[in-house]
């Protein structure tokens, strides 16, 4: 039951960079197992933002004075770093948004309302986060677009054998999570993208739980759009990314309108700036974008294949350790090679909220509830689960602490 050491990865060293991990919760050292909700931040990211606020801070794209130019330059550099991180061919394919939710809404409002008409079909999956569910539900209700779902197989993977039946000529768009935030299931995007493209449909990948945890190459995937949030990958809140193919971004109308996104405005009308500015109305969250650039530098230095390997090993250990506990049911695939860093489970006779509250008293932070995936929970016949999720700074001893915390909760609640 010993976890194999991932040689390239020095977790003790990494933890030194994360001030919040040194904090206490209820008098116990914090065991932070909720990175799927949001990750902690390293000093390097905090310092990058602090540095801007203390020195060159000025609004971007607006001034000819030096600090505005330097801020603009740093913002542009952040875009280039993120493009490189996901292997987009140009920085202009990276649009800064607030988070993945905004990226997916942008697509539903701009692409969906412009290109989809009554009778068209959108294919989703049963395991989507609400962020990739609700915008399409609203579109369907408003425009008479039909939604169809790739079903869940009993092992927690998507049943892709249904694709030939689902991908009919009316399907114009397919959208799915690269990694499930509840089951941890990793879906190989190419298995959906290739058949979807073969029928002429466009494909959106919700990469919120993938981009922080594994190498992502949008050119190799050949996805049309890829969305993710900065705050789940060491970056600050308020910044996220929408990647899109240039010909699609060019053809799409703006989502929000106002300053910074126009070419010219007259009393009679307006024309739009080129991408990405067309989709970045108003003062952007440029300090946060610079912070996300620093986060990407941090992850790149660790190497994303090593990040993935570290988490795969933690998940393997977590699956092994938790499956030893009586009354505990693990959800999702049992094979760690097709699992991301989220481990959801139920414990017989204990409501997840009670379990989460008792774990909190032990200093252990886990997520409980439906994790913004109610349709998935309905498919599983559950209303709530507990979820532990791992990242670069987690260690096997924290998996042990979780297992011991669950055993203690069982003793408290079952006595």
Ligand X SMILES: Cc1ncc(COP(=O)(O)O)c(C=O)c1O
Q: Which stretch binds ligand X (CB under 6 A): 161-169, 203-211, 296-304, 390-398?
A: 203-211
In contact, 147 and 122? CB cutoff 8 Å: yes
Piece in contact with ligand X (CB under 6 A), picked from 62-70, 126-134, 215-223, 264-272: 126-134
Task: Identify whether the C-beta of residue 311 lies closer than 8 Å to the C-beta of residue 391.
Answer: yes
Of 57-65, 97-105, 156-164, 251-259, which segment contacts ligand X by CB under 6 A?
A: 97-105
Q: Which is nearer to ligand X, 177 or 315 (CB)?
A: 177
- Residue 175 within binding range of ligand X, rule CB under 6 A: no
| Cα–Cα distance list, 220 to 99, 187, 216, 224, 272 (Å) | 24, 15, 9, 11, 30
Q: How far is the CB of 240 from ligand X (least distance, A)?
A: 6
Q: What is the 8-class DSSP label of residue 185?
A: B
CB of 328 to ligand X, least distance (A): 23
**Unique residue bearing structure tokens 């539900």:** 137
Which one of the spans 206-214, 258-266, 291-299, 347-355 is the region binding ligand X (CB under 6 A)? 206-214
* Contact pattern from residue 308 through residue 337 relative to ligand X, giving x for each residue in contact according to CB under 6 A and a dash for the rest: ------------------------------
User: From the list 83, 116, 131, 315, which residue makes contact with ligand X (rule: CB under 6 A)?
Assistant: 131
Q: Compare residues 101 and 288 and give the one whose CB is closer to ligand X.
A: 101
Minimum gap (Å) between residue 85 Cβ and ligand X: 17
In the annotation, is 372 catalytic?
yes
Taking CB under 6 A as the rule, does residue 100 contact ligand X? yes
Note the Cα 369 to chain centre separation in Å: 18
How many CB atoms are located within 10 Å of the residue 378 CB?
Answer: 12
Nearer to ligand X, 71 or 132 (CB): 132
Give the residue, chosen from 125, 209, 346, 394, that forms a contact with ligand X under the rule CB under 6 A: 209
- Closer CB to ligand X, residue 100 or residue 315? 100
φ and ψ at residue 199, rounded to 5 degrees: -100, 10
Q: Residue 38, CB half-sphere, CA atoms under 13 Å: how many?
A: 13
Number of other CB atoms surrounding residue 21 within 10 Å: 17
Q: Identify the residue among 78, 171, 186, 208 touching ligand X (CB under 6 A).
A: 208
From residue 258, alpha-carbon distances to 9, 118, 132, 134 in Å are 46, 30, 26, 26
Structural tokens at position 188: 């190989």
Does 105 sit near ligand X (CB under 6 A)? no
End-to-end CA distance of the chain: 29
State the nearest-atom distance from the C-beta of 133 to ligand X, in Å: 9
Q: Residue 399 in contact with residue 355, Cβ under 8 Å? A: no
DSSP state of 110: I
Tell which residue, 261, 258, 196, has the closest CA to residue 225.
Answer: 196
Nearest-approach distance from CB 230 to ligand X, in angstroms: 8
Name the active-site residue from 208, 223, 372, 379: 372
Question: What's the closest the beta carbon of residue 228 comes to ligand X, in angstroms?
Answer: 8
**Does a cis peptide bond (omega within 30 degrees of 0) precede residue 276?**
yes
Q: Which of residues 27-46 bind ligand X (CB under 6 A)?
A: none
Q: How far is the CB of 233 from ligand X (least distance, A)?
A: 10
Cβ pair 49, 288 in contact under 8 A:
yes
Active-site residues, by number, are 372
> Would you tell me which residues interact with ligand X (CB under 6 A)?
99-101, 129, 131-132, 177, 181, 206, 208-209, 229
């Amino acid at each position: 039951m010993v976890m194999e050491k991932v040689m390239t990865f020095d977790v003790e060293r990494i933890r030194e960079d994360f001030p919040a991990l040194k904090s206490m919760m209820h008098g116990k050292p914090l065991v932070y197992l909720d990175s799927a909700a949001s990750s902690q931040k390293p000093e390097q990211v905090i310092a990058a933002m602090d540095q801007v606020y203390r020195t060159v801070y000025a609004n971007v794209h607006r001034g000819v004075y030096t600090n505005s130019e330097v801020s603009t330059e740093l913002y542009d550099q952040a875009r280039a770093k993120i493009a490189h991180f996901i292997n987009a061919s140009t920085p202009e394919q990276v649009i800064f948004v607030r988070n993945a939710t905004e990226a997916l809404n942008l697509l539903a409002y701009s692409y969906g309302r412009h290109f989809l008409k009554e009778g068209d079909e959108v294919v989703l999956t049963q395991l989507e986060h609400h962020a990739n569910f609700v915008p399409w539900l609203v579109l369907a209700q408003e425009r008479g677009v039909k939604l169809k779902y790739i079903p869940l197989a009993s092992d927690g993977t998507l049943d892709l054998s249904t694709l030939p039946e689902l991908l009919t000529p009316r399907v114009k768009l397919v959208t799915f999570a690269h990694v499930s935030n509840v089951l941890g299931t990793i879906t190989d995007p190419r298995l959906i993208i290739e058949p979807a493209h073969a029928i002429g449909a466009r494909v959106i990948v919700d990469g919120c739980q993938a981009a922080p945890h594994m190498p992502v190459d949008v050119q190799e995937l050949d996805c049309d759009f890829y969305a993710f949030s900065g705050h789940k990958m060491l970056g600050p809140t308020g910044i996220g990314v929408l990647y899109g193919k240039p010909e699609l971004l060019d053809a799409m109308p703006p989502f929000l309108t106002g300053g910074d996104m126009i070419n010219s405005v007259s009393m009679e009308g307006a024309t739009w700036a080129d991408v990405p500015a067309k989709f970045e109305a108003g003062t952007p969250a440029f300090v946060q974008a610079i912070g996300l650039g620093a986060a990407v530098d941090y992850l790149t230095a660790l190497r994303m294949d090593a990040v993935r390997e570290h988490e795969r090993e933690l998940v393997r250990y977590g699956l092994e350790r938790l499956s030893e506990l009586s009354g505990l049911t693990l959800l999702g695939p049992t094979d760690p090679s097709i699992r991301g860093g989220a481990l959801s489970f139920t414990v017989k006779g204990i409501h997840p909220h009670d379990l989460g509250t008792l774990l909190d008293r032990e200093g252990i932070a886990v997520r409980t509830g439906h994790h913004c995936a109610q349709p998935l929970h309905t498919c599983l016949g559950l209303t709530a689960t507990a979820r532990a999720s791992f990242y670069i700074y987690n260690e096997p001893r924290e998996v042990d602490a979780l297992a011991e915390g669950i055993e203690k909760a069982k003793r408290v609640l079952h006595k």
